[in-house]
Amino acid sequence: MSAFDSTKTRLADLMKDIVQGKIQLPDFQRGWVWDDEHIRSLLTSIARAFPVGAVMLLENGGEARFKVRPIEGIEPAKATPEKVEKLVLDGQQRLTSLTQVLMLDRPVQTRDDKKREMKRYYYFDIEKALKGQEQYGDAIFGVDEDRKIRENFGRDIKLDLASPQQEYDNFCFPCNQILNSDTWEEGLNTSHPEKFARYMEFRKSVLAEFRNYDVPVIELKKTNKKEAVCLVFEKVNTGGVPLSVFELLTAMYAANGVNLRDEWYGNAMEKHQGIRQHLIKQRMLRGIEPTEFFQALSLLHTWERRNEDLLAGKSGKQVTGVSAKREWVLELPLAAYHKWKDLLRDGFWNAAKFLRKESFFSTSDLPYKTQLVPLAAVLTLLGGGG
């Protein structure tokens, strides 16, 4: 059985599902703001019926459970976790930009060419757009959050679109009306009936492209394992910062109400000391990474599973191997974390004490830094070593 489906979905339907909270982001997806030029280029491509790339979604409800959050700009109250049907693995930037431009009656969070943050509303200059597709790039423009374009160092107002009436007067169409323009059209027809025929040409040649635009969608089925989902995400997320095992585990455990980041780093507001704060009191452990801790925890969990398999009479490949490989770390159940975390914390502490007695004072003294992980796991099982 295939682990994914490939299809096309109407852009308007994707936008509707995002606003309703049916499509959301896994919490490990970092926030992203596209710059003004990228947004206008994206709108131009859709207006010209050019491909803008596929979107990858994950069917919710499978083994890979993550804490979720709505697309930026969607109010959390309208996109609760209970509503989510699909998660965005690839296409976050495009979907976020399109949602903010097409669906929300508020300015879009973006940046200028110098990376300075700004808020913009986007418009079509209808007369420019009617000159032909090659003019769409110039016909699409942004205005400040007060819906005005200024010149002469901000002293003079070049264009004012602060009200629907001013939009009608200047014959500029707001992009957040593209998918549903009935109200705007009624206002234009009442205010400037002489312009309505030209507007209908614009509707047929430009707005129809947005309303009939199909987005290629690759949908991973919920039967995919956690490790497979995480691997797929990292493969498609080549433009972002690679995710660590700890970040992925944090997102997965958060779905069960456990804040792994607070567990590791502590929470000053709640006066909660994390595992790391306890460990770094030992000089040997000052550079310890959370991934190393979970590698050791994986060794303990798989060792326990191996013993269970042997007791059950299994043999050969049926017996779980003791492993700290990435796929095993990502498979760590929350119950295993709760069972071993305190014992393993003491195991690392005892490993550092043991090494200090042998005249090893930092990880740079060790032949291999990775020796610390299995040593901590062994001393956890022995219950000492200090």
pLDDT digits (tens, 9 = 90+) for 275-324: 999 999 999 999 999 999 999 999 999 999 999 999 999 999 999 999 99
Query: Would the pLDDT of 331 be above 90?
Result: no
Instruction: Answer whether residue 353 is part of any domain.
Output: yes
Instruction: Answer whether residue 342 is part of any domain.
Output: yes
Do 191 and 74 lie in one domain? The reply is yes
Specify the pLDDT at position 208. Answer: 97
Specify the pLDDT at position 50. Answer: 95
Structure tokens at 157: 């107002």
**Average pLDDT of the chain?**
89
Beta strands in the chain (DSSP E): 4-10, 23-26, 55-59, 68-69, 86-90, 108-111, 117-125, 140-144, 148-151, 156-160, 172-174, 214-220
Q: How many CB atoms lie within 10 A of CB 10?
A: 13
Do 208 and 265 lie in one domain? The reply is no
132: left (phi over 0), alpha (psi -120 to 50) or beta: left
Specify the pLDDT at position 143. Answer: 96
Q: Torsions phi, psi of 26, nearest 5?
A: -70, 145
Residue 329: C-alpha distances to residues 104, 105, 196, 225, 235 (Å):
40, 44, 62, 13, 18
Instruction: Answer whether residue 370 is part of any domain.
Output: yes
Do 53 and 193 lie in one domain? The reply is yes
Specify the pLDDT at position 385. Answer: 43
pLDDT tens string 131-166: 999 999 999 999 999 999 988 877 888 999 999 999
Instruction: Answer whether residue 285 is part of any domain.
Output: yes
From CA 81, how far away is CA 234, in angstroms rounded? 23
- Amino acid identity of residue 2, one-letter, is S
Q: At what angle do helices 334-357 and 372-382 cross, to 10 degrees?
A: 100
Contact between 98 and 19 under an 8 Å Cβ cutoff? The reply is no
Do 56 and 200 lie in one domain? The reply is yes
Contact between 323 and 332 under an 8 Å Cβ cutoff? The reply is no
- Amino acid identity of residue 118, one-letter, is M
Contact between 87 and 57 under an 8 Å Cβ cutoff? The reply is yes
Structure tokens at 374: 């299995």
Residue 22 belongs to domain spanning: 4-216
Instruction: Answer whether residue 238 is part of any domain.
Output: no
From CA 359, how far away is CA 353, in angstroms rounded? 10
Segment 80-88 shows an average pLDDT of 88
Domain count of the fold of the chain: 2
The dihedral over CA atoms of 173, 179, 182, 186, expressed in degrees to the nearest 10, equals: 10
Do 290 and 331 lie in one domain? The reply is yes
pLDDT band at 234 (very low <50, low <70, confident <90, very high): low
Do 315 and 355 lie in one domain? The reply is yes
Instruction: Answer whether residue 136 is part of any domain.
Output: yes
From CA 170, how far away is CA 126, in angstroms rounded? 9
From CA 119, how far away is CA 109, in angstroms rounded? 5
Instruction: Answer whether residue 352 is part of any domain.
Output: yes
Do 51 and 171 lie in one domain? The reply is yes
Contact between 30 and 237 under an 8 Å Cβ cutoff? The reply is no
Nearest alpha carbon to residue 71 among 53, 54, 83, 61? 83
pLDDT tens string 189-226: 999 999 999 999 999 999 999 999 999 999 988 887 77
From CA 228, how far away is CA 320, in angstroms rounded? 19
* In the block, residue with structure tokens 């974390």: 337
Q: Please, where are the H alpha helices in 48-142?
A: 92-102, 126-129, 136-139
Do 11 and 104 lie in one domain? The reply is yes
Contact between 118 and 59 under an 8 Å Cβ cutoff? The reply is no
Do 42 and 178 lie in one domain? The reply is yes
Do 336 and 372 lie in one domain? The reply is yes
Do 189 and 285 lie in one domain? The reply is no
From CA 194, how far away is CA 48, in angstroms rounded? 27
Between β-strands 68-69 and 214-220, what pairing exists: parallel, antiparallel or unpaired? Answer: unpaired
Query: Would the pLDDT of 243 be above 90?
Result: no
From CA 298, how far away is CA 115, in angstroms rounded? 42
Do 78 and 145 lie in one domain? The reply is yes
Specify the pLDDT at position 308. Answer: 96
Q: Is the pTM of this model over 0.85?
A: no
pLDDT band at 384 (very low <50, low <70, confident <90, very high): low
Instruction: Answer whether residue 67 is part of any domain.
Output: yes
Specify the pLDDT at position 386. Answer: 44
